[in-house]
């Protein structure tokens, strides 16, 4: 089964909310379609009695809405948008602080290659449809740098002109939160994807969940992995392009340039979707040896990377 990334929010429960639930005619589940994380969302629960499915849908949608209001770049009133506009966010709250702590951990482990402060660079590329002027890149690089972000319990402060994007980790963070919420509500097994994929428990028949990997959404899977109680996140330099040119959306914070064409995709498996998300984003910018070194810093991490020449790296 292959789940499209970043477009669909999908929860497929395996009819295992509780052993007392027998499969019956009313196990039609429930479905909601709308907009989340700036894109079309399809949130569905299958194999469950309709009443239970509707209850879990309401809980999941509420949690996604709450976290979008913190991390979304598409909402002008989100906490992140206010921080970028004003340069300061007072009383950032535990979720924002936890995400920033994860960013710092991955930033250090990736030798600075994971850096949400690239947002001014990203904006320069977007405004120029992928071909920014050297002066624009130089100005954006001057204000970038995660080490320049002042973070405390009381406030987060940016330098003038700086801005952040959490698009390389927020989807995974929200996936983790939705999984925790649904487990607390009784979910025992299923697939949960809010941009990244979490496999909860066993698939029907007691096997691990089969997950297809692809370089971009809606592409044919080039490999299949099997997961149980783990997550997988995939990043691809060409998953999103700025314009008609060849440059993709993942930028090297050191040079300000788009990621080189070393990898077609990098998939990272970890118990946390947020960690997998951030590590896969940084991994696109790494060599094979750098990928190995980064993965070793987080026990239980696996890497499944496909090069543009067809070579496969397994860590």
SS3 14: coil
Q: How many Å apart are CA 121 and CA 97, to the nearest integer?
A: 24
How many helices and strands in the chain, by DSSP H and E? 8, 14
Instruction: Name the band, by pLDDT with cuts 50, 70 and 90, for residue 14.
Output: very low
Return the higher-pLDDT residue of 77 and 37.
77
130-146 confidence digits (pLDDT tens): 778 889 888 998 999 99
Give the burial string for 108-131 (b: 16+ CB within 10 Å, else e): ebbeebbbbbbbbbbbbbeeeebe
In the chain, what are the domains?
79-157 (1.10.3980.10)
pLDDT at site 241: 58
Q: Which residues contact 204 (CB under 8 A, 6 or more apart)?
A: 14, 15
Q: Are 173 and 231 in contact (CB under 8 A)?
A: no
SS3 213: strand
Return the higher-pLDDT residue of 68 and 37.
68
200-250 confidence digits (pLDDT tens): 888 878 889 888 887 666 667 888 899 999 999 998 876 565 665 555 667
Q: How many CB atoms lie within 10 A of CB 35?
A: 10
Q: Are 240 and 205 in contact (CB under 8 A)?
A: no
Any idea how long the chain is? 315
Start-end of H helices in 33-92: 50-71, 79-86
For residue 187, CA distances in Å to 22, 37, 56, 157 come to 15, 23, 9, 39
Q: Which of 250, 105, 81, 251 is nearest to 158 (CA)?
A: 81
pTM for this prediction: 0.87
């Amino acid at each position: 089964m292959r789940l499209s990334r970043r477009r669909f929010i999908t929860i497929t429960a395996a009819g295992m909310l509780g052993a007392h639930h027998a499969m019956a005619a009313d196990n039609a589940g429930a479905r909601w379609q709308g907009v989340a994380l700036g894109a079309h969302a399809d949130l569905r629960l299958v194999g469950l009695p309709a009443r239970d499915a509707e209850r879990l849908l309401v809980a999941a949608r509420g949690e996604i809405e709450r976290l979008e209001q913190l991390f979304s770049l598409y909402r002008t009133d989100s906490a992140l948008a206010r921080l970028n506009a004003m340069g300061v966010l007072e009383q950032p709250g535990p979720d924002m602080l936890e995400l920033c702590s994860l960013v710092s951990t991955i930033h250090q482990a990736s030798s600075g290659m994971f850096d949400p402060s690239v947002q001014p660079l990203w904006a320069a590329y977007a405004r120029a449809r992928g071909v920014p002027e050297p002066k624009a890149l130089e100005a954006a690089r001057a204000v970038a740098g995660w080490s320049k972000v002042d973070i405390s319990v009381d406030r987060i402060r940016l330098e003038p002109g700086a801005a952040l994007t959490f698009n390389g980790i927020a989807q995974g963070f929200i996936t983790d939160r939705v999984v925790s919420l649904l487990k607390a509500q009784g979910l025992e097994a299923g697939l949960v994807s809010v941009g990244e994929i979490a496999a909860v428990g066993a698939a029907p028949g007691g096997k691990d969940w089969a997950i297809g990997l692809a370089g971009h959404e809606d592409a044919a899977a080039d490999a299949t992995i099997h997961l149980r109680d783990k997550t997988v996140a995939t990043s691809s330099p060409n998953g999103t392009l700025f314009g008609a040119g060849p440059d993709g959306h993942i930028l090297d914070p050191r040079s300000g340039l788009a990621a080189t064409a070393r990898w077609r995709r990098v998939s990272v498996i970890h118990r946390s979707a947020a960690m997998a998300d951030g590590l896969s984003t940084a991994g696109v910018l790494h060599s094979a040896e750098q990928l190995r070194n980064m993965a070793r810093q987080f026990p239980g991490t696996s890497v499944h990377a496909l090069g543009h020449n067809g070579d496969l790296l397994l860590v």
